[in-house]
Amino acid sequence: MTTGHIPITSSELATLWIIYQKKTMMVRVIESFLSNNQDPEAIEILQTFYEGESNFVNELRNLFTQEGAVVPIGFTEKDVNFNAPQLFDDIFEVMYLRTMMKVASGLHALHISMSYRKDIMDLQRRFSAFAEEFCEKTTQFLLSKGVLPKSPSVTLPNHVEFAKGKNYRAGFKITGHKRSLNTVEVAHLYQTIESNIDGMKLMTGFAQVAKKKDIRKHFFRGKELFKTIITKASEILLDSDINPPSTPAGRVTDSTMSPFSDKLMMYNTSLLSSFGLGSGAIGTTYNLRNDVTLKMTPFIKEVLDFSHDGGNLMIEHGLLEEPPPMEDRTQLAKGHG
């Protein structure tokens, strides 16, 4: 039986470092939202989230200190300009929180499986439960406002079917019947459109206010990329007589003064791109119609290229905080030369 202190592993340190970056960013973003949001219900959700997320940041800071590790910088008050006008309207600020809770839910589920120490696994579970709670709260808020389109209804099956022949995967028939999308395919396409609508609006706002020209250009590129993904996924749904999700709610204002640092906006974009890559890969895996896979797969590479170029931009402008490194054994050995 193991006794005494169990050292933290490299993967545990990595996941905690990633979460510290994300949570300090979320604290700063929600601080900004709270300074201008006028909807009482939205303010209650944002305020409750802010308090819980701030407590988690303090808990992580204490954990780094107890383990003898330097506390990351993450995002601080310097990354927020409280004198800037509202960049996104009240509804979009809740839409944003919902999207980021989807990202967080996936991250924490993965990070639990990458942890070994019980206290760290328990901490990741609490992170996950918190994200799920606010995903539900924001979803119900948006539904109550009538601004969150649900996925389409469907006639429930009364018997089980097995796919017969290669025609089930075919999607290129010029004549004859081409099977309609199944519910699994629709679910992932709907998720793709919904997430990219939020991402497109976020990039639109970021492109308006970023300080550096090349970073503004990067956000504009992201907006156009997300728009193209929305268009292509919507075409696939319409081809099966399914209306794609659409809502006029969630407006970007005409402000050109940034409430956030370029560093914060670039990191936020990187998070969303990573989420898009993961969900896109999963969606493609579950597509059983060849034409859907062929139409959507190229976007995975485009998002990957966009994310890679964003990382290079962050390094070029000194905006990328390095994750904790492993020991450089070669350099250590040279030190004895």
3-state secondary structure of 80: strand
Tell me the mean pLDDT in the region 306-318.
Answer: 96
The residue whose two tokens read 């890969």 is 281
Give the span between the Cα atoms of 251 and 306, in whole angstroms: 24
For the record, the structure tokens of 83 come out as: 């004198």
Task: Please state, rounded to an integer, the average pLDDT across all residues of the chain.
Answer: 90
Residue 293 has a pLDDT of 83
Give the span between the Cα atoms of 265 and 207, in whole angstroms: 10
- The residues spanned by each domain of the chain are 10-144, 177-316
DSSP string computed for 237-263: HHHTT-PPP--S-S-B-S--S-SB-HH
Residue 1 has a pLDDT of 40
What is residue 336's DSSP assignment? T
Surface-to-core class of residue 43, CB atoms within 10 Å of its CB (0-12 exposed, 13-18 middle, 19+ buried):
middle
To which H or E segment does residue 89 belong? none
- The residue among 197, 194, 196, 189 whose CA lies nearest residue 251 is 197
| Res. 112: pLDDT tops 50 | yes
Surface-to-core class of residue 257, CB atoms within 10 Å of its CB (0-12 exposed, 13-18 middle, 19+ buried):
exposed
Residue 268 pLDDT grade (very low, low, confident, very high; cuts 50, 70, 90): very high
Number of Cβ within 10 Å of residue 77's Cβ equals 10
Share of the chain above pLDDT 70, in %: 93
Give the span between the Cα atoms of 151 and 83, in whole angstroms: 39
CATH homologous superfamily for 10-144? Ferritin, core subunit, four-helix bundle (1.20.1260.10)
For the record, the structure tokens of 167 come out as: 């025609």
Residue 294 has a pLDDT of 84
Looking at the DSSP bridge assignments, the partners of residue 88 are 252
| Res. 68: pLDDT tops 90 | yes
Give the span between the Cα atoms of 206 and 223, in whole angstroms: 9
| Cβ atoms 28, 77 nearer than 8 A | yes
For the record, the structure tokens of 234 come out as: 């919507």
What digits encode the pLDDT tens for the residues 216-237?
A: 999 999 999 999 999 999 999 9
Looking at the DSSP bridge assignments, the partners of residue 252 are 88
What digits encode the pLDDT tens for the residues 36-48?
A: 999 999 999 999 9
Which segments of the chain does DSSP mark as H helices, in order?
10-34, 40-67, 90-113, 118-144, 183-209, 213-239, 262-286, 290-316, 329-334
Length of the chain as a residue count: 337
**What backbone phi and psi angles, to 5 degrees, belong to 138?**
-70, -35
Residue 326 has a pLDDT of 80
For the record, the structure tokens of 150 come out as: 């649900």
| Res. 100: pLDDT tops 50 | yes
**Are the folds of 10-144 and 177-316 the same?**
yes
| Cβ atoms 59, 65 nearer than 8 A | no
Q: What CATH fold (topology level) applies to the domain 177-316?
A: Ferritin (1.20.1260)
Give the span between the Cα atoms of 75 and 26, in whole angstroms: 9
| Res. 179: pLDDT tops 90 | no
Give the span between the Cα atoms of 272 and 29, in whole angstroms: 15
| Cβ-proximal residues to 205 (8 Å cutoff; 6+ apart), any chain | 87, 88, 252, 253
| Res. 320: pLDDT tops 60 | yes
